[in-house]
Amino acid sequence: MLLVVLPFVAASVVLQTRWWAVNAPPVAIWTVGISLLMALAVFRLRAATLGAALAGAAITACLMFSTTMFPYWPWQTALTPVLVVFVLTHIATRLGRQRKERLGMAEKRRGRNASQVAANLGIAALVSEEFVQSIFTDSGWFTRATFAPMPLFAVGLAALAEAAADTVSSEIGQVWGSHPRMITNLRLAEPGTDGAISLAGTAAGAVAAGLVAATGTLAVRGDFFMFWLSGAGGVFGLLFDSLLGATLERRGWLNNDAVNFLSTASAAGFALLAMAVWLHFGVR
């Protein structure tokens, strides 16, 4: 995950910082400053290791630069949904911690590592970057996407929504999810089993996806279509995550980081495909 995400993100942040520092210094100062401040806060809260906090700072800066609009306000960028993702996952991880520790499912007290951060947030940064977005636009499938300031951010926002939904669903399901069942055959399973879902966990994950989609849409001045695309993509990715867990992860073919990375990619892919079909065939 680190080799796929961080070199690209780091290069983008360096180039973007240099460009904005010359052309609009406040954008560079606010973006880099807030990203580093977030990294410090996350590290001090023991929500992530130092390496993970710095990786998160780079991804946050990349997302903020990619969603900069004028007049410029830092909270009218991807900063807002990233903050919501962190708050939701941080709270969910700490709910019922004693029970999770008894079951052996609690997250390590030192917090997430860099690979986990890249797996959960990397796709959002990659698909929101200007170079990748220009590829989408030049394809001709999104030339009519003029109904919001940056409609293609719905793709990255869907990935962020899935990242929040996955963690919240898993953490809540472990504590309050009674009678979890395997997504593949609906057989009863033990809490924490890869691929097992519960009503409480799935509902909590869907709410988390909706919150991230809503705040992200408001932040970049999007419309209901952006909210629907990103929210639906987040829920789709949540279910796809469980499917991968019940099949490839249980067989040892994928680890948890790979599952998370592919699940956020599926959420982004769902949003991208839905947007292409919606626009290309004149539904909207």
Check residue 173 and give its pLDDT.
86
Q: Which residue has the tokens 């099949």?
A: 247
Which of the four pLDDT bands, split at 50, 70 and 90, describes residue 143? low
pTM (2 d.p.): 0.92
pLDDT, tens only, 94-141: 886 666 655 555 556 667 899 999 999 999 999 998 888 888 877 777
Q: Kindly list the distances between the CA atom of residue 198 and the CA atoms of 104, 117, 238, in Å, as whole numbers in the listed order.
A: 19, 25, 12
d(CA 42, CA 234): 24
Structural domain tally of the chain? 1
Range of the structural domain that residue 254 is part of: 80-280
284 pLDDT tier (thresholds 50, 70, 90): very low
Give the tens place of pLDDT for each residue, 52-101.
Answer: 999 999 999 999 999 999 999 999 999 999 999 999 999 998 886 666 65
Q: Are 93 and 224 in contact (CB under 8 A)?
A: no
The rounded distance, in Å, linking the Cα atoms of 213 and 230 is 6
Across all residues in the chain, what is the average pLDDT? 89
pLDDT at 146: 47
Query: Residue 279's pLDDT is what?
Result: 76
Q: Which residue has the higher pLDDT, 59 or 194?
A: 59
Of 136 and 255, which is predicted with more confidence?
A: 255
- pLDDT given for residue 97 in this prediction: 65
Domain membership flag for residue 123: yes
Residue 35 has a pLDDT of 98
Instruction: For residue 101, tell me if it sits in a domain.
Output: yes
